[in-house]
Amino acid sequence: MEEAVEGCVALLRTATGADWRGPDWEKATAGRLEWSCRYTAEHIAGDLIAYAGQLAGRAQNAYFPFDIAFDDGTDNSGVLEVIWTTGALLAAAVRTTPREVRAFHPYPFRSASREGFAAMGTAEVLLHTHDIAEGLGLTYQPDPELAEFVLTRIFPHVRPGASPWLTLLWATGRGDLPGRAPVTDWRWHNNLVHDTDRLTLQGITPASATDLIGGGDGGFEWIEGGPYTGTREAATFLLKAYQSGVHRPEFGVFTLVRREDGRAVGGLGFHGVPDEAGRVEVGYDLAAGARGQGYATEALRALSAWALARDDVRTVFATIERDNLASQAVVTRAGFRKVSEDEVEGEFAYELSRPE
């Protein structure tokens, strides 16, 4: 995020001072927005300080009731100084906020982690610098890695393209991509988190999935023995869906994180979106050190209840190997019933349906 702010300020500083002969910031419209370039620059600073406040104050239900105000007579150079400062404040809040903390943001799931706020702040800077640059007649080309950082964290529903920057512009209604319809309405998506008594089920982003596939921890602190093989395999399917443009994050993969110490103990998730009959498949695993403590049952109950409360889900099912007695016990305790056996594959099928 600091790199994004640095690039923003460096570019826009060229359009300040007595030797600037380009458009007036107050009169020039910022790109496709209805705002002036001056107002858009002030908006960047306002968003950065608001996000810093949400994280630092641990806001839970709404935005904190404060706003930023510029002194009378603040020139454009002064606005850039405020962008620089508010960017530093958000970066400091991100660095010092524990990974497990979530603070209020209105959409889509009413909260975001420090990584989510970093991605949102970076998006605000990149996109609105682009808008201002268009209005002032400047050329702006940020580092593609910054755009990819944003896309893989808060645009998991957007199929990646050859150019992360052009894809981000398209996804936010600021540009066109061959073969894709213009975007007229958009929102980013922070990851979904489900709460249980002892766990939080934290949605895995494409960025986390990429790290897990590469042998990393996905950004989580795991107990010994984690992440288990199934979680890494599930991350592979998630990333394939993301790359194909069919990933729906609410039907993705979740890391099971203990409330007591913030450590990840396993993974749980869907194999895809519900089919036409409203059936959706679920799978799970735990690190060896977390087994036998009811974590999988607790998580499965919560995720199944969430799914069955939706209009597009009627049945949650799971297939389990005949010899995996522990996993069979998990689904049974979660309320599933055995509905069939596959003699060839050596698997049992279990279902939990919405009450009629």
pLDDT tens digit sequence for 20-73: 999 999 999 999 999 999 999 999 999 999 999 999 999 999 999 999 999 999
- 345: pLDDT confidence band, cut at 50, 70 and 90? confident
Query: What are the backbone angles phi and psi of residue 112, rounded to the nearest 5°?
Result: -150, 150
Helix axis angle for 325-333 and 295-308, nearest 10°, is 50
Q: What percent of the chain has pLDDT over 90?
A: 96
Tokens of 247: 């990933």
Q: Kind and range of the H or E element at 11?
A: helix 2-13
pLDDT score, position 320 = 95
- 115: pLDDT confidence band, cut at 50, 70 and 90? very high
The domain locations on the chain are 2-171, 194-353
Dist CA 152 CA 164 (whole Å): 10
E-assigned strands of 129-216?
A: 193-195, 199-203
- 301: pLDDT confidence band, cut at 50, 70 and 90? very high
Query: What are the backbone angles phi and psi of residue 224, rounded to the nearest 5°?
Result: -60, 135
The overall pTM is greater than 0.85: yes
Q: Is 90 exceeded by the pLDDT of residue 343?
A: no
- 19: pLDDT confidence band, cut at 50, 70 and 90? confident
- The CATH number that domain 2-171 falls under is 1.20.120.450
pLDDT score, position 207 = 98
Q: What percent of the chain has pLDDT over 70?
A: 100
pLDDT score, position 342 = 82
SS3 assignment, position 305:
helix
pLDDT score, position 253 = 97
CA atoms within 13 A on the CB side of 263: 13
pLDDT tens digit sequence for 183-201: 999 999 999 999 999 999 9
Q: Report whether 121 contacts 166 (CB < 8 A).
A: no
Q: Please give the average per-residue pLDDT across 119-136, as a whole number.
A: 98
CA end-to-end distance (rounded Å), the chain: 50
Residues in the chain: 356
The string over 222-251, giving b where at least 16 C-beta atoms fall within 10 Å of a residue's C-beta and e elsewhere, is bbeebbbebbbbbbebbbebbeeeebebbb
pLDDT tens digit sequence for 215-256: 999 999 999 998 999 999 999 999 999 999 999 999 999 999
Dist CA 38 CA 75 (whole Å): 10
Q: Is 70 exceeded by the pLDDT of residue 344?
A: no
Question: Cβ contacts of residue 226 below 8 Å, gap of 6+?
Answer: 264, 265, 266, 287, 289, 290
Place of tokens 């359009």: 15
Closest among 242, 182, 244, 189 to 212, alpha carbons compared: 242
Q: 194-353 adopts what CATH topology?
A: Aminopeptidase (3.40.630)
Q: Is 90 exceeded by the pLDDT of residue 18?
A: no
- 265: pLDDT confidence band, cut at 50, 70 and 90? very high
Mean pLDDT of the chain: 96
pLDDT score, position 133 = 98
Dist CA 48 CA 84 (whole Å): 10
Q: Report whether 335 contacts 352 (CB < 8 A).
A: yes
- 268: pLDDT confidence band, cut at 50, 70 and 90? very high
Dist CA 227 CA 224 (whole Å): 8
Dist CA 276 CA 256 (whole Å): 29
pLDDT tens digit sequence for 69-108: 999 999 999 999 999 999 999 999 999 999 999 999 998 8
Closest among 178, 218, 181 to 202, alpha carbons compared: 218
Q: Please give the average per-residue pLDDT across 312-328, as a whole number.
A: 95
pLDDT score, position 259 = 95
For residue 272, CA distances in Å to 67, 234, 281, 341 come to 42, 10, 7, 22
